[in-house]
């Protein structure tokens, strides 16, 4: 028991030191960039502490910005457990939003306790099916999933643009083509008169489920085996093909949950208003799958 406790403490301290070192390097590099631009780094960091962490509104906006990045982190970390690279979260978001929007427009009169879970499920299915395409191509050894997920990011917005310019266009929208407004029942409830909404709880629940599945289940053990040596896992009888398809579908569905955070698909140039998450996904992938607490701290720093 004492040996296990000491090993756990050593691992936790090593992870804390690594995170502290990475944070210090990031702070130093950003300070140098500010100084090179003629700005005062100390003033910038002081303003950040005062107006973000020392201000209720600033901190609530930080949580709003962090929420979709938590989903992005899990959507990248889950396939990374079996050696897959998913940089298609943007396209998966669009297709999840597409299917969720179809549900919201088709069932505007449903109560919130029916409509909200339905839209979450529809968004998950839409993103999952979109991610399943590169999953199948990878499982059949036809196309590397890094290439296919990246290129599909450019296809999904075109599909959404077609729908907004065509069947879903609100006839009352004269300037920007957009879909009809969602019913109030289709919008996530917010907390304490701020923009922080139930999506934050959903993101934390998703993060906790990711930790439990990967660290405490047979599924997670098999994933680590596949990530370590796919051929050895296959010889041990682990269905590698099934895991590839399942994990890619789940990752796409998780990435698409961000669509529920933005409301309806409103404009053809919505991509200009969405955060560009591809660079974040690539950075997250290069560092591999980390522990959930590390993910939370990373999203706060971003």
Measured over the CA atoms of residue 158, residue 160, residue 161 and residue 167, the dihedral's sign is: positive
d(CA 211, CA 60): 25
Region 173-196 average pLDDT: 83
pLDDT at 169: 87
**Which one has a higher pLDDT value, 100 or 176?**
100
Give me the chain's average pLDDT, please: 84
The residue written with tokens 């529920």 in the block is: 260
Least trusted range by pLDDT, from 74-78, 96-100, 139-143, 192-196: 192-196
Q: What is the DSSP string of 176-245?
A: S--PPPPPGGGSPPBSTTSS-BTHHHHHHHHHHHHHHHHHHSHHHHHHHHHHH-HHHHHHTT--HHHHHH
pLDDT at 297: 47
pLDDT classification of 15: cutoffs 50, 70, 90: confident
**Which one has a higher pLDDT value, 154 or 276?**
154
Residue 45 in tokens? 């960091």
pLDDT at 299: 44
The C-alpha angle 158, 163, 164, rounded to 5 degrees, equals 95
d(CA 155, CA 95): 10
d(CA 270, CA 213): 34
pLDDT at 259: 62
Q: Mind listing the pLDDT tens digit for each residue in 268-299? A: 334 434 444 444 344 444 444 445 544 444 44
pTM of the predicted protein model = 0.81
d(CA 4, CA 172): 66
Of residues 287, 9, 55, 232, the one with CA closest to residue 240: 232
Q: Residue 64 belongs to what H/E stretch?
A: helix 56-80
Residues 78 and 206 sit within 8 Å (Cβ to Cβ): no
Q: Mind listing the pLDDT tens digit for each residue in 206-215? A: 999 999 999 9
d(CA 257, CA 71): 7
Q: Mind listing the pLDDT tens digit for each residue in 101-128? A: 999 899 989 999 999 999 999 999 999 9
Q: What is the CA 74 to chain-centroid distance, rounded?
A: 6
Region 166-170 average pLDDT: 87
Region 85-95 average pLDDT: 93
Residue 301 has pLDDT above 60, yes or no: no
pLDDT classification of 257: cutoffs 50, 70, 90: confident
pLDDT at 265: 38
End-to-end, the C-alpha distance of the chain in Å comes to 38
pLDDT at 181: 83
Residue 76 has pLDDT above 50, yes or no: yes
pLDDT classification of 267: cutoffs 50, 70, 90: very low
pLDDT at 1: 54
**Which one has a higher pLDDT value, 35 or 53?**
35
pLDDT classification of 74: cutoffs 50, 70, 90: very high
């Amino acid at each position: 028991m004492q040996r296990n406790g000491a090993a756990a403490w050593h691992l936790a301290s090593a992870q804390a030191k690594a995170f502290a070192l990475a944070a210090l390097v990031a702070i130093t590099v950003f300070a140098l960039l500010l100084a090179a631009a003629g700005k005062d780094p100390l003033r910038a960091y002081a303003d950040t502490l005062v107006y973000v962490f020392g201000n209720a509104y600033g901190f609530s906006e930080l949580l709003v910005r962090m929420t979709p990045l938590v989903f992005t982190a899990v959507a990248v970390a889950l396939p990374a457990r079996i050696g897959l690279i998913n940089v298609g979260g943007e396209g998966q978001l669009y297709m999840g939003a597409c299917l969720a929007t179809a549900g919201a427009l088709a069932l505007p009169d449903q109560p919130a306790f029916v409509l909200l879970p339905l839209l979450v499920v529809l968004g998950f299915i839409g993103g999952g099916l979109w991610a399943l395409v590169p999953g199948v191509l990878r499982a059949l050894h036809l196309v590397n999933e890094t290439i296919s997920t990246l290129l599909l990011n450019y296809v999904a917005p075109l599909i959404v643009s077609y729908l907004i310019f065509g069947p879903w266009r609100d006839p009352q929208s004269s300037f920007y083509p957009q879909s009809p407004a969602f019913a109030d029942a289709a919008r996530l409830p917010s907390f304490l008169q701020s923009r922080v909404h139930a999506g934050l709880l959903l993101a934390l629940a998703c993060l906790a489920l990711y930790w439990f599945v990967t660290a405490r289940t047979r599924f997670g053990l098999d994933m680590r085996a596949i990530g370590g040596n796919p051929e050895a896992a296959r010889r041990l009888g682990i269905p590698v093909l099934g895991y590839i398809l399942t994990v890619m579908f789940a990752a796409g569905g998780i990435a698409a949950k961000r669509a529920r955070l933005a409301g309806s698909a409103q404009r053809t140039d919505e991509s200009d208003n969405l955060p560009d998450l591809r660079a974040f996904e690539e950075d997250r992938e290069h560092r591999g799958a980390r522990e959930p607490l590390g993910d939370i701290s990373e999203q706060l720093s971003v």
